[in-house]
Amino acid sequence: MSSVTTDPGATPLSHSQDPGSRRARQNALKNLSLPKPLPTAIAVGLALVIWFVIPVPAKVSPHAWHLFALFIGTIAAIIGKAMPLGALSVIAIALVALTQVTNPGKPAAALTDALSGFANPLIWLIVSAVMVALSLTKTGLGKRIGYYFIMLLGKKTLGVAYGLVASELVIAPVTPSNTARGGGVIHPIMRSIADSYDSSPEKGTSKRIGRYLALINYNANPISSAMFITATAPNPLCVELIAKATNSSIQISWGQWALAALLPCLVMMLVMPLVLYALYPPEIKETPAARELATRELEKLGPMKIEEKITFAVLVFMLIVWAGIPAWIFGRAFTLDPTTVAVAGLSVLLVSGVLEWEDILKARSAWDTLMWFAALVMMATFLGKLGLTTWFSQTIQAGISGMALDWKLSAALLVAVYFYAHYFFASTTAHVTAMFAAFFAAGIALGAPPMLLGLLLAFSSSLNMSLTHYATGTAPIIFGSGYITLEEWWLAGFVMSLVNIAILVVVGGVWWSMLGYL
């Protein structure tokens, strides 16, 4: 039948007119990766204006300026979410190869340049770690860890908060997707606890306990992301940019990063629940039901399955080797590259059957990371090689030098501008790619110690996620659950930014001096 009728006297209604069919088609169109008109027009317009209208500055080659035009267009498209990040990255790679801005007149060499980002070991470290992290969700080990800490610490609301914090800390080193960690693993646990106390946005009872726990859920995420190279995808990009800017004289290892972050970030994790408790105190202070809920959930999970034990063993092995413990005990002959360790861990999970190849093929975030990391690293690398980054950093340096500040105040100004510029970004990746290299180079030129400046900017690249409800992928998930109003979110984010920066500078500065990093 080509039509349906509602009653014998009704006019036939074709399938194309059926409201359900129209909604289905509208939803299907929304899910397509078609460019969004306004963000696309802005991105293309910016690229064309820079390429054809704005004169090429002195000391900048035309090819560097044209690559800069493509770069700015790409960043604008990412910020405006004109298309999915992976799709934009493919387009950027194609444009670099087509325009031959990196190797004029040599199409084959230009293509090699455009694809060069895929050869970067750091990208494969993150991609492999994202795939390994799938085992946390698939086996239920991530949920087990979360409820275990709630069972131990959940007698009071503040204890529940520290249980969520502890869960973040434990799984952060092996979950490069902070969105998967905070939004996919911790958030459902947090909501279960809030529901057990009848605290929900729908009932207008968020202030009982849900608002506070949602704030903890989110604000633990930026701090845990700052603690490990493998805790969020842009961190390796910071490491790469620092190495390139210093001609590889500073190459921050996984262990160095983790050790540098250890004390300041642990202090942040201890202080953050107390600050938010004072700012937005929950109405419920005692939470025995949270422990009961956690106990019931752990009973449902039952004893650890063999798949969980294998996953746990693989994760412990990876962390031990990443921290350099075998090399420290047995000598440098036992040193393994972090990417090799991640690939080896993934291999064990595949051989043991904990993960199947279908799981790997479905790991969208891993393949998405592969695309955008390769494209953005490639563009940033050639902006440096062609001299554009040097010119931009010299421009920033000249502006700050005119203020006649010493290097400490100059570095503080650079870090503050870099940190709070995240109000204008909906992606940490876009922020790091757009600003990190130039600000790092400018700070070095102004006399800041490279390691100090690198650590401040790198950790700020995660800590600034606290600011807004669109700062990173985790934010919309938690904000969208409705426990926190926009005003509450922004105030909490700004307060935590001040607290975290103060701890980073004071505690971090003393700690890094003790470690000999400065």
List, for residues 313-359, the tens digit of each pLDDT value.
Answer: 998 888 888 877 887 788 777 778 888 888 999 999 999 999 999 99
Instruction: Give the list of residues 6+ apart from residue 330 with CB closer than 8 angstroms, or none.
Output: none
How large is the average pLDDT for residues 458-478?
88
How large is the average pLDDT for residues 375-399?
82
Mean predicted lDDT score pLDDT of the chain:
86
**pLDDT beyond 80 at 14:** no
**pLDDT beyond 60 at 31:** no
Q: How confident is the model at residue 416 (pLDDT cuts 50, 70, 90)?
A: very high
Rounded to the nearest angstrom, the gap between the alpha carbon of residue 463 and the centroid of all alpha carbons in its chain is 10
503: its two tokens:
């701890």
- How many C-beta atoms surround the C-beta of residue 78 within 10 A? 27
Q: How confident is the model at residue 276 (pLDDT cuts 50, 70, 90)?
A: very high
* pLDDT value of position 21: 57
Residues 240 and 377 sit within 8 Å (Cβ to Cβ): yes
Give the C-alpha separation, 242 to 87, whole Å: 27
Give the C-alpha distances (Å, rounded to integers) separating 46 from 49, 203, 361, 433, 439. 5, 46, 36, 17, 22
**pLDDT beyond 60 at 505:** yes
**Long-range contact list for 13-19, CB < 8 A, 24+ apart?**
none
* pLDDT value of position 192: 83
Please indicate whether residue 7 or residue 341 has the higher confidence score (pLDDT): 341
**pLDDT beyond 70 at 183:** yes
* pLDDT value of position 15: 43
How large is the average pLDDT for residues 204-216?
93
159: its two tokens:
């204890």
H-type alpha helices, 5-61 = 19-31, 37-48
* pLDDT value of position 181: 85
DSSP state, 156? B
* pLDDT value of position 142: 79
**pLDDT beyond 50 at 2:** no
Q: How confident is the model at residue 9 (pLDDT cuts 50, 70, 90)?
A: very low
How large is the average pLDDT for residues 291-308?
90
Give the C-alpha distances (Å, rounded to integers) separating 327 from 134, 241, 257, 449, 511. 28, 26, 17, 28, 24
Cα angle 421, 426, 427 (rounded to 5 degrees) comes to: 90
**pLDDT beyond 90 at 207:** yes
Give the C-alpha separation, 419 to 396, whole Å: 16
Please indicate whether residue 431 or residue 26 has the higher confidence score (pLDDT): 431
How large is the average pLDDT for residues 374-378?
84
**pLDDT beyond 70 at 42:** yes
**What percent of the chain is predicted at pLDDT more than 90?**
44
Query: What 3-state DSSP class applies to 287?
Result: coil
Give the C-alpha separation, 169 to 162, whole Å: 10
Q: How confident is the model at residue 146 (pLDDT cuts 50, 70, 90)?
A: confident
pLDDT digits (tens, 9 = 90+) for 421-437: 888 776 788 788 888 98
**pLDDT beyond 80 at 180:** no
Q: pTM for the complete prediction?
A: 0.74
* pLDDT value of position 422: 87
66: its two tokens:
């044209």
Q: How confident is the model at residue 3 (pLDDT cuts 50, 70, 90)?
A: very low
**pLDDT beyond 90 at 381:** no
How large is the average pLDDT for residues 80-98?
91
Q: 14: part of which helix (H) or strand (E)? A: strand 13-14
**pLDDT beyond 80 at 60:** yes
* pLDDT value of position 6: 39
Q: How confident is the model at residue 13 (pLDDT cuts 50, 70, 90)?
A: very low
Residues 307 and 139 sit within 8 Å (Cβ to Cβ): yes
Instruction: Give the list of residues 6+ apart from residue 8 with CB closer than 8 angstroms, or none.
Output: none
Please name the amino acid found at residue 486: L
Q: How confident is the model at residue 22 (pLDDT cuts 50, 70, 90)?
A: low
How large is the average pLDDT for residues 188-194?
85
**pLDDT beyond 70 at 8:** no
**pLDDT beyond 80 at 132:** yes
* pLDDT value of position 4: 38
φ, ψ (nearest 5 deg) of residue 449? -60, 130
